Amino acid sequence: MPFIGSHLSSTKGYLAMGKTAIKMGEDTFAYFTRNPRGGSVKPLNVPDMQALQALMDEQGFGRLVAHAPYTMNLCAAKEDVRTFSRNVLKEDLERLNALPGHYLNFHPGSHVGQGAEAGIALIADALNEALTPDTKTTVLLETMAGKGTEIGRSFEELRAIIDRVELSEKMGVCLDTCHVWDGGYDIVNDLDGVLTTFDKVIGLDRLKAIHFNDSLNVCGAHKDRHARLGEGCIGAEAMKRVLRHPALKDLPFVLETPNDEAGYIREVALMREWLA
């Protein structure tokens, strides 16, 4: 059975997120490791993280899918942005060792004109610097819509990054349904074909999490505008087939749809209905 959650605010700390998730009917969730549009970070509160883990163990939660800030671009053209980004990745992984065994997802980055190949090399370099044998988190590359110069617009680009990472057993992929659709993968008419392609190019064993979003745009639009379930171009029937696909059955499914808390509660309930 998939785990279901949404993207929660982390301002009140770790245990508070766990309690909110339970209230909302969730058994996993996503959160930003730090200010998503800046980079500032709160002091580490290890007892708070341990209290969350104890609550999740008791409640049978799946793995969490933490999200790195949007300002992190490991393949930026500007050296100061790259240095900031490398430090964020290293520091977040060190901090997450206090809450071991979960996922840290990030947008591979935008090469801003340097070319995909150069971008891929920079991203892999940063991962090789940040990952150590002691890293207790699996790092997930997110599939991207291919807006502008985004890397990760194809499964091949993600595979190329993973191939260059030395500790590649610590690497996985988070598939965002809106992004792959916008990237040109037709999950409405050929979900099996898309997953077969994923398996051939990357390997389904690397697929660790799903961002579960409908899209405001048509397949291949490269736009990245999320829609609520059934209110976009993917549509309820196709979203339901993704949720129920046997190859995805044990993964965390995280909603990043444009919703307030009541909206997320409704969508979580709808997803549970689809699974029943």
Binding site for Zn ion (CB under 5 A): 224
H helices of 131-256, where? 155-164, 177-182, 191-201, 236-243
- The answer to whether 216 touches 232, Cβ cutoff 8 Å, is yes
Instruction: Select 13 or 235, whichever has its Cβ closest to Zn ion.
Output: 235
For residue 134, the minimal CB distance to Zn ion (Å) is: 31
CA 188 to chain centroid? 21
- The answer to whether 41 touches 34, Cβ cutoff 8 Å, is yes
For residue 211, the minimal CB distance to Fe ion (Å) is: 3
Contact pick of 26, 27, 157, 176 for Fe ion (by CB under 5 A):
176
For residue 176, the minimal CB distance to Fe ion (Å) is: 4
Instruction: Select 34 or 211, whichever has its Cβ closest to Fe ion.
Output: 211
**What is the residue whose two structure tokens read 């933490």?**
66
Instruction: Select 92 or 224, whichever has its Cβ closest to Zn ion.
Output: 224
Instruction: Select 84 or 212, whichever has its Cβ closest to Fe ion.
Output: 212
Instruction: Select 95 or 153, whichever has its Cβ closest to Zn ion.
Output: 153
Instruction: Select 142 or 150, whichever has its Cβ closest to Fe ion.
Output: 142
**CA dihedral defined by 22, 28, 30, 34, rounded to 10 degrees?**
70
**How far lies 40's CA from each of 1, 34, 227, 253, in Å?**
36, 6, 29, 27
Separation between Cα atoms, residue 221 and residue 219, nearest integer Å: 6
For residue 106, the minimal CB distance to Fe ion (Å) is: 8
Please choose which of Zn ion, Fe ion, none residue 48 contacts, taking the beta carbon within 5 to 8 angstroms, the exact cut-off set by kind: none
How many Cα atoms are found within 13 Å in the side-chain-facing hemisphere of 241? 13
For residue 215, the minimal CB distance to Fe ion (Å) is: 11
125-164 residues in contact with Fe ion (CB under 5 A) are 142
In our burial notation (b when 16+ CB lie closer than 10 A, e otherwise), range 205-226 reads ebbbbbbbbbbbbebebbebbb
State the number of binding residues for Fe ion (CB under 5 A).
3
Contact pick of 34, 111, 153, 211 for Fe ion (by CB under 5 A):
211
Separation between Cα atoms, residue 273 and residue 49, nearest integer Å: 31
Instruction: Select 157 or 224, whichever has its Cβ closest to Zn ion.
Output: 224
Please choose which of Fe ion, Zn ion, none residue 211 contacts, taking the beta carbon within 5 to 8 angstroms, the exact cut-off set by kind: Fe ion
Residue 214 within binding range of Fe ion, rule CB under 5 A: no
SS3 of 17, please?
A: helix
Please choose which of Fe ion, Zn ion, none residue 224 contacts, taking the beta carbon within 5 to 8 angstroms, the exact cut-off set by kind: Zn ion
The helix or strand, by DSSP H or E, that contains position 15, with its residue range, turns out to be helix 14-23
Name the one range near Fe ion by CB under 5 A: 155-163, 200-208, 210-218, 227-235. 210-218
Give residues in contact with Fe ion (CB under 5 A).
142, 176, 211
